[in-house]
């Protein structure tokens, strides 16, 4: 049964299919090229860029061409009051060209164009934010998969030790030199370690699936992750980080764009206080034919026109003034949002910096603890072979080694997480290149 369990563990492990190598830099490149959120946000940028024209803002005239063909039949043959008592047929073809041009509307055209430019910048800012979030997700997803893979290696080492001890105790039991309680203890340890390895392999497979989802690739794709879990631990200065954040943070940039949009909305609202001067010109062509029994007649008419219109709203119940006041309030709200965002970002930055500093110190402690537990485990195996400690003491030392290893890898990942968060907050993650 135990041999069957081991075979099952090996079977559900890493399949023998060919696995491509994947560095962190390549993972980011794949994600930037294929991630659906990025592609969708880029489409929004295209729409706003396409709208950012003077024609969309209303600078140019509109030209309309209309054609109409009419047919009529009037039977007056039985109408005693009719002057012409016949069946009258008429056919006409009418065409007109109409040009409408707003010459002045309170500088609304310029304000509209400026707003279209800000909307383009807003969509680009939102797209950049999506890119930042995607890169951050891929970095953390990649290193999480590396973390789960390292834990598998650690558990395999522990499983090999418990398996070897269990097999050795079985031989000793057959020779009559081992106690049943020791054999059961080693068997229990072997089964517990086997179960832990099964669950850890599942955690690794799920982490790879999550990474594939972020990269928008086949979720069943297997990778050999080549970038090491190790990372540099530079010293960060809070003043320098805050300066970078205030200059480069994309969330903050987006808030300033929203403020500019409110300013353009205010100009558009104020434009309604001015008169509107418009010009309308065109030509109308009409060709008509009349059939009166055997007689028929035809005529052609061409009309030209050109009109100027001055429109000024004298009273609307205060709608324009209220609209202007509401836009001013909205502008105040945007200014408050900027200050709120700055305060929140400063809080997040200081928290992440404190986490980073604490985690670097924790990593140093965990590294030393792992080294000590490794030496202790080596010594414990020698003592157990010499009969100086029992199986229970050895198992406690093995578990301490396992916990120390897991804590070491977790602390390495936490450093990467804090470093990545700091990089994103200071606006440097878009220029990321693999560790």
Q: Token pair of 90, please?
A: 């008429």
Please state which of the four CATH numbers 1.20.1600.10, 1.10.3720.10, 3.40.50.720, 1.10.599.10 is assigned to the domain occupying 2-34+111-274+319-425.
1.20.1600.10
Please state, in angstroms and rounded to a whole number, the distance separating the CA atoms of residues 307 and 282. Answer: 9
Check residue 375 and give its pLDDT. 93
- pLDDT at site 1: 39
149 membership: H or E segment, kind and range: helix 108-175
Nearest Cα neighbor of 227 from 404, 412, 403 is: 412
| Calpha distance 48→224 (Å, rounded) | 41
pLDDT of amino acid 249: 96
pLDDT along the chain (435 residues), means of 10: 39 51 94 95 95 94 91 75 71 90 93 96 96 96 95 89 79 70 80 91 96 94 91 89 95 96 95 94 86 74 92 91 95 96 96 96 94 90 74 81 91 94 93 56
- Contact call for residues 242 and 110 (beta carbons, < 8 A): no
What residues contact residue 320 under an 8 Å CB cut-off, 6+ apart? Answer: 269, 272, 273, 313
pLDDT value for 391: 67
How deeply is 397 buried, as exposed, middle or buried, from its count of CB atoms within 10 A (0-12, 13-18, 19+)? buried
pLDDT for position 398: 84
- What's residue 388's pLDDT? 75
Determine the pLDDT at residue 3. 43
- According to DSSP, residue 294 is labeled T
Domain parsing of the chain, residue ranges:
2-34+111-274+319-425
Rounded-to-integer distance, Cα 272 and Cα 318, Å: 12
Q: Which long-range contacts (CB under 8 A, 24 or more apart) does 261-265 make?
A: 261/115, 261/118, 261/119, 261/122, 261/334, 262/327, 262/330, 262/331, 262/334, 263/331, 264/111, 264/112, 264/114, 264/115, 264/118, 265/115, 265/327, 265/330, 265/331
What span, in angstroms and rounded, lies between the C-alpha atoms of 10 and 1? 14
- pTM of the complete model: 0.83
């Amino acid at each position: 049964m135990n041999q069957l369990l081991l075979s099952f563990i090996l079977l559900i492990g890493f399949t023998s299919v060919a696995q491509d190598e994947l560095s962190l830099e390549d993972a980011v490149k794949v994600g930037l090229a294929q991630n659906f959120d990025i592609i969708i946000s880029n489409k929004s940028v295209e729409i706003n860029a396409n709208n950012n024209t003077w024609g969309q803002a209303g600078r140019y005239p509109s030209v309309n061409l209309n054609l109409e063909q009419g047919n009529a039949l009037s039977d007056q043959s039985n109408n005693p009051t009719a002057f012409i008592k016949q069946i009258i047929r008429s056919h006409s073809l009418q065409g007109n060209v109409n040009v409408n041009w707003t010459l002045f509307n309170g500088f609304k055209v310029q304000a509209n164009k400026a707003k279209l430019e800000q909307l383009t910048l807003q969509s680009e800012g939102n797209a950049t934010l999506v890119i930042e979030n995607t890169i951050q997700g891929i970095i953390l997803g990649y290193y999480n998969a590396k973390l789960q893979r390292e834990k598998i290696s650690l558990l395999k080492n522990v499983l090999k030790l418990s398996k070897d001890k269990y097999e050795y105790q079985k031989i000793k039991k057959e020779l009559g030199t081992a106690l049943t309680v020791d054999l059961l203890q080693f068997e229990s340890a072997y089964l517990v370690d086997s179960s832990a390895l099964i669950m850890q392999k599942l955690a690794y497979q799920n982490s790879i699936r999550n990474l594939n989802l972020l990269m928008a690739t086949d979720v069943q794709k297997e990778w050999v992750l080549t970038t090491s879990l190790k990372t540099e631990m530079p010293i960060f200065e809070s003043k320098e980080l805050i300066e970078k954040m205030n200059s480069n943070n994309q969330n903050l940039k987006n808030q300033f764009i929203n403020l500019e949009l409110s300013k353009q909305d205010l100009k558009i609202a104020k434009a309604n206080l001015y008169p509107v001067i418009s010009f309308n010109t065109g030509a109308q062509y009409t060709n008509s034919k009349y059939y009166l029994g055997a007689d028929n007649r035809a005529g052609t008419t061409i009309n030209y026109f050109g009109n100027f219109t001055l429109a000024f709203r004298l009273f609307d119940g205060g709608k324009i003034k209220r609209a202007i006041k509401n836009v001013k309030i909205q502008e105040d709200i945007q200014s408050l949002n900027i200050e709120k965002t700055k305060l929140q970002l400063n809080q997040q930055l200081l928290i992440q910096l404190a986490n980073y500093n604490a985690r670097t110190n924790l990593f140093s402690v965990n590294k030393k603890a792992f080294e000590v537990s490794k030496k202790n485990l080596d010594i414990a195996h020698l003592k157990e072979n010499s009969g100086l400690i029992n199986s229970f003491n050895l198992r406690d030392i093995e578990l301490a080694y396992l916990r120390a290893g897991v804590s070491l890898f977790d602390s390495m990942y936490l450093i990467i997480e804090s470093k990545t968060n700091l990089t994103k907050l200071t606006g440097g993650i878009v220029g990321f290149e693999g560790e």
